[in-house]
Chains A and B, each alone.
Chain A
Amino acid sequence: MRAGRPTAIVALAVAAGASLVAALAVGSVPLPLHELVGAALGSTSAGADIVLGLRAPRALSGFAVGATLALSGALLQALLRNPLADPYVLGISGGAAVAALAALALGLGVVAVQASAIVGALLTLAILFVLARRSLYSTDMSGGEQAAGSVLLTGVMLASFAAALMSLVLALAPDGRLRPMMFWLLGDLSGATDPWPAVLALVLAIVLLLFAFDHARSLNLMLRGDLQAYTQGVRVAATRRRLVLVAAIATASAVTLGGAVGFVGFVAPHLVRMWIGNDQRVVLPASMLLGGTLVVVADTVARTAFAPLQLPVGVLTALIGVPVFLGFLGRR
């Protein structure tokens, strides 16, 4: 693998910073830069309250959601050797959604909904590992694409089952509670009023990236097939188990924080690959920066475009992401 493109990483980091500053400055009360700096330095003005109390938690949440979804998508596309894979393909988010919707249907608060989402995601992950154990723990590398394929199939089945359960919960839920449930399904950051969950998710995102980065060279080889990677020295089965776990935790963290924000986990890794190639050592961090930026921008538009009406951010990620993706695709 040739060296990555540090310049691309720097450019994406700058874009991420700019998107966060813009997210803090733009809104029903536009704030000039010096007020943002003041708020950061601890001044107590109305502007500072808006920045720290409302916009900062939401912007940070958005960034964490986008970054973890993009990490999950990049990992799963590579692990499953399937360009169509996204963070939701293994059913982890489906499990989280069933639990979160059930909590919403019961009229529980934000914390209970988030806790339910985590439990649902982890439970689904455990079921996935039990059902796909023969592929995940196989010591026979000569079976071609069977292992990755069977993990994918198991995940898709879990996702379908979860989708049916979601429909069931939606059908049984009282009418008055359907709107927050729909927003959760579309991906919505308006619940982010406390900065700590977002900070926690960002720390988790960095830990997951460092862990995944350690396996990035192995993942580059695993793209060519299990047998090929194994003969070149990769501990294929162990690496796949660890990275499926990383991807699942990343997805669980994202949906817990922002609901099922669509498209970003699929499109960010593809845009990065089209731009700077497919070395996972670059793809993983670059996808996270791009995914985070995309969600922050989308959410800023979501809460300002039709103000005072707020849109679910998931609508905007696809509305912005699809044309950008098609534009890149057409230029190739």
Chain B
Amino acid sequence: MERRLLELVGVTLRTPQRVLVDALSVTIATGERWAVLGPNGAGKSTLLATIAGARPADAGAVRLGGRDVRTLPADALARERALLTDRWVDPFACSALDTVLTARYVFRDEVGAEATARRWLASLDCEALADRDVRRLSRGERQRVGIATALAQETPLVLLDEPTAHQDPRHQALVISELTALSGRAQVASLHDLNAAARFATHALMLWGDGRSLGGPAEEVLTPAVLSDLFGTPISRIETGGEAFFHVHTHAA
């Protein structure tokens, strides 16, 4: 069965100073959950924005359902992929519910939209926040409202830029378990917490930030050796009670 949804073909990302990602080719299928890992400034957010079609790749192409994302109009893209960005602002008062409702913009389903929005708010433990002004939420709460907004777009491809940012342990676990429970989608999420990434990911994509990248099934690439090299600090894997954990050593020997 052909489930190929997203293809990166020779995607290169540059800043004016250096090459972040050099000729990355990767194919992502429905049902897969990809964790994007890498040090700060390695190009994780830039890659997600590029996959979303919001900026041109410096070389190569991103294909969604076989079509180049840069040739698709914004409204057509919005039915195919959603992006949780860290680039939102809240300059004016707005309730959390109205914020989530913005996700339904292209669907024009004003009658069903509120139920959809409330359902996603509830799934992220934000039911009680529906009528609160988003400017008065804590950063963790605002982040979960943002995740609910991205999910309320109900697209086949979900892109998430650090979804677990600002979450307390219980809510981090909730976010990961809600994302893992989503079916019939492909997900690409940048994550900094290696243990969250290990629980979330079926696949991982590592970006070194110097052009190098490595992608593949989690059990093959999410290893202490690769991670130690990626972050430039010793990382070991500890198994206890049937579960594996990554331990980051604070000092290189």
Q: Interface residues, chain A, CB within 8 Å of chain B?
A: 1-3, 78, 81-83, 139-145, 217-218, 220-221, 223-228, 230-236, 273, 277-279
Contact = CB atoms under 8 A, between A and B. Distances in A.
Contacts of A221: 102, 105
A144 B89 CA distance: 9
Interface in B62-80: 73-75, 77-79
Nearest to A224: B88
B12 interface: no
A260 to B, nearest CB: 26
Contacts of A142: 45-46, 49-50, 54-55, 87
A126 to B, nearest CB: 27
Q: Which 4 A/B pairs are nearest by Cβ-Cβ distance?
A: A233-B78, A233-B106, A142-B49, A141-B54
Contacts of A217: 105
Main secondary structure of the interface of A (DSSP, over half): loop
Contacts of A228: 85, 87-88, 102
A224 B101 contact: no
A232 B78 contact: yes
Nearest to B83: A231
20 contacts: A1-B102, A81-B89, A141-B55, A142-B46, A142-B49, A221-B105, A223-B89, A226-B87, A227-B54, A227-B87, A228-B85, A228-B87, A231-B77, A231-B81, A231-B82, A231-B83, A233-B77, A235-B73, A235-B75, A279-B98
A231 B101 CA distance: 14
Query: Which of A2, A230, A278 has the most chain B CB within a 10 Å cutoff?
Result: A230
A145 B89 contact: yes
Given A2-B98, A223-B92, A140 B87 contact: no
Contacts of B244: none
Interface residues of B, number: 37
B94 interface: yes
A131 B29 CA distance: 44
B111 to A, nearest CB: 11
B105 A227 contact: no
Contacts of B114: 2
Contacts of A232: 78, 82, 102-103, 105-106, 153
Contacts of B77: 231, 233
Contacts of B75: 233-235
Contacts of B83: 227, 231
Given A2-B114, A224-B99, A231 B89 contact: no
B92 A278 contact: yes
B94 A278 contact: yes
Given A234-B74, A235-B75, A223 B46 contact: no
Contacts of B52: 230-231
Given A145-B87, A225-B89, 15 more contacts: A3-B110, A139-B56, A142-B45, A142-B55, A217-B105, A223-B89, A224-B90, A226-B87, A227-B54, A227-B88, A232-B78, A235-B74, A235-B75, A236-B74, A273-B93
B55 A231 contact: no
B91 interface: yes
A311 to B, nearest CB: 33
Residue with the greatest number of chain A CB neighbours at <10 A, chosen from B55, B79, B81, B91: B91
B211 to A, nearest CB: 20
